DNA sequence: AACTTCACAGGT
DNA sequence: ACCTGTGAAGTT
């Protein structure tokens, strides 16, 4: 059993067509030959297929409302039982949502929408799981649902706001900015630092979770890129809750060399032996980012 | 080793 | 188009 692979598969481009599920699996896009979700309870889910298997699925292009596994009669394709968050694929999608992992999307010809191919299976790139919710489906049983949004469509620049809301399938105006803010790009390093702290904020100790799956953000102390040119190293990273991430980035508080805090109460928690911070990065934040006027 | 799964081919 | 049976790969 090959380890589950997240993100882009080298050599496979968006729009590429595969003859059948066997070809999809051989390409490394989606390993199971029947299951719609490729994932497990520990690492998350890395890929889904839309092929008309579940009556409640909605495909809006850049936004997909996907139905989890379970309770489905494969002959009638109708729901005959309640679904649960604990089946492997569903829990995997929750992990992908909470940890910001990308999910590959493939549309099959069996799924009738204007985005599906006329035959075979079409790989359509990377999406993020941005919401999960529970509702009663068309057949009267509770279903686990996931909202997925195409990664390239989550633009940091607001397009024409009136038009973009419609095309995103979003009705609440506050959604887009929050999504952009919260979804930090997942890298090996950011995942590692979050795992070291088990998704617990180093400033306030809060651990945001759903069904035990934690949510946290990896924050750079000295920002990356121009003009700060901080380094993407663990000695320049913190594991924070969203509030303290924003507060830190905006200079509402800072961390002193002795790890005491200015601007908020308390003291930075550091896991002994598992994480070390470069003091120079703290000095930089203190000097250039922290609001000296309080 | 059993179980689940948004396949697939072959029949009518 | 509908119903079968057979199936492989991954997870637990």
Question: Would you say the C-beta of A137 is within 7 Å of strand B?
Answer: no
Question: Would you say the C-beta of A37 is within 7 Å of strand B?
Answer: yes
pLDDT at position A156: 47
Which has more confidence, A177 or A239? A239
Which residue from A68, A81, A80, A74 is spatially nearest to A134, judged by alpha carbons? A68
Residues contacting nucleic strand C by the 7 Å CB criterion are: A 1-2, 4, 25, 31-35, 38-42, 75, 88, 91
Q: Which strand B nucleotides have any atom less than 7 A from protein CB atoms? A: 4-9
Which residues neighbour A265 within 8 Å (Cβ) at sequence distance 6 or greater? none
State the Cα–Cα distance between residues A217 and A193, nearest whole angstrom.
9
Which residue from A182, A254, A186, A213 is spatially nearest to A92, judged by alpha carbons? A213
Q: How many CA atoms lie within 13 A of A285 on its CB side?
A: 31
What is the mean pLDDT of the segment spanning A74-78? 84
- Which class for A28: exposed (0-12), middle (13-18), buried (19 or more C-beta within 10 A)? middle
What is the mean pLDDT of the segment spanning A197-226? 97
State the Cα–Cα distance between residues A46 and A4, nearest whole angstrom.
7
Whether the CB-CB separation of A92 and A101 falls below 8 Å is answered with no
Helix, coil or strand: residue A254: strand
Which has more confidence, A172 or A84? A84
What is the mean pLDDT of the segment spanning A165-191? 52
A69 CA to B10 C1' distance (Å): 28
What is the mean pLDDT of the segment spanning A155-165? 40
pLDDT at position A67: 95
pLDDT at position A86: 95
Per-residue pLDDT tens digits for A231-260: 999 999 999 999 999 999 999 999 999 999
**DSSP 8-class letter at A100:** T
State the Cα–Cα distance between residues A25 and A241, nearest whole angstrom.
37
pLDDT at position A294: 57
What CATH number does domain A17-150 carry, 3.60.110.10, 3.40.50.300, 2.30.280.10, 3.20.20.60?
2.30.280.10
Angle at A277 between CA A203 and CA A191, to 5 degrees: 70
Q: Sorting pLDDT into bands at 50, 70 and 90, what band is A154?
A: low
Question: Would you say the C-beta of A52 is within 7 Å of strand B?
Answer: yes
Q: Please list the residue range(s) of chain A that carry CATH number 2.30.280.10.
A: 17-150
What is the mean pLDDT of the segment spanning A286-290? 97
Question: Would you say the C-beta of A230 is within 7 Å of strand B?
Answer: no
Judging by DSSP bridges, how do beta strands A121-136 and A37-40 pair with one another?
unpaired
Q: What is the dihedral of CA A38, A148, A196, A28, to 10 degrees?
A: 30
Per-residue pLDDT tens digits for A126-141: 999 999 999 999 999 9
A170 CA to C5 C1' distance (Å): 44
State the Cα–Cα distance between residues A15 and A107, nearest whole angstrom.
10
């Amino acid at each position: 059993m090959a380890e589950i692979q997240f993100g882009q598969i080298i050599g496979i481009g968006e729009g590429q067509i595969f003859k059948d599920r066997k070809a999809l699996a051989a390409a490394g896009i989606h390993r199971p030959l029947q299951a719609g979700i490729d994932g497990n309870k520990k690492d998350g889910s890395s890929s889904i297929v839309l092929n008309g298997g579940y009556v409640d699925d909605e495909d809006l292009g850049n936004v997909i409302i996907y139905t989890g596994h379970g309770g489905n009669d494969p002959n009638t394709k109708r729901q005959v039982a309640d679904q649960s968050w604990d089946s492997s694929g569903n829990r995997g999608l929750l992990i992908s949502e909470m940890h910001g992992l990308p999910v590959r999307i493939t549309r099959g010809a069996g799924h009738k929408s204007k985005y599906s191919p006329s035959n075979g299976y079409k790989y359509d790139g990377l999406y993020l799981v941005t919401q999960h919710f529970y509702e009663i489906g068309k057949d009267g049983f509770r279903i686990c649902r996931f909202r997925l949004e195409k990664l390239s469509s989550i633009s940091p620049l607001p397009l024409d706001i009136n038009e973009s809301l419609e095309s995103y399938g979003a009705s609440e105006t506050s959604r887009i900015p929050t999504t952009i803010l919260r979804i930090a790009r997942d890298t090996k390093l950011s995942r590692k630092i979050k795992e070291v702290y088990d998704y617990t904020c180093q400033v306030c100790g809060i651990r945001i979770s759903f069904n035990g799956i934690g949510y946290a953000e990896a924050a750079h102390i000295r920002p990356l890129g121009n003009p700060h040119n901080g380094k993407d190293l663990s000695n320049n990273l913190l594991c924070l809750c969203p509030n303290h991430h924003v507060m830190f980035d905006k200079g509402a508080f800072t961390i002193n060399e002795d790890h005491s805090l200015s601007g908020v109460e308390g003291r930075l928690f550091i896991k002994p032996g598992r994480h070390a911070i470069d003091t120079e990065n703290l000095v930089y934040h203190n000097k250039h980012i922290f609001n000296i006027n309080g």
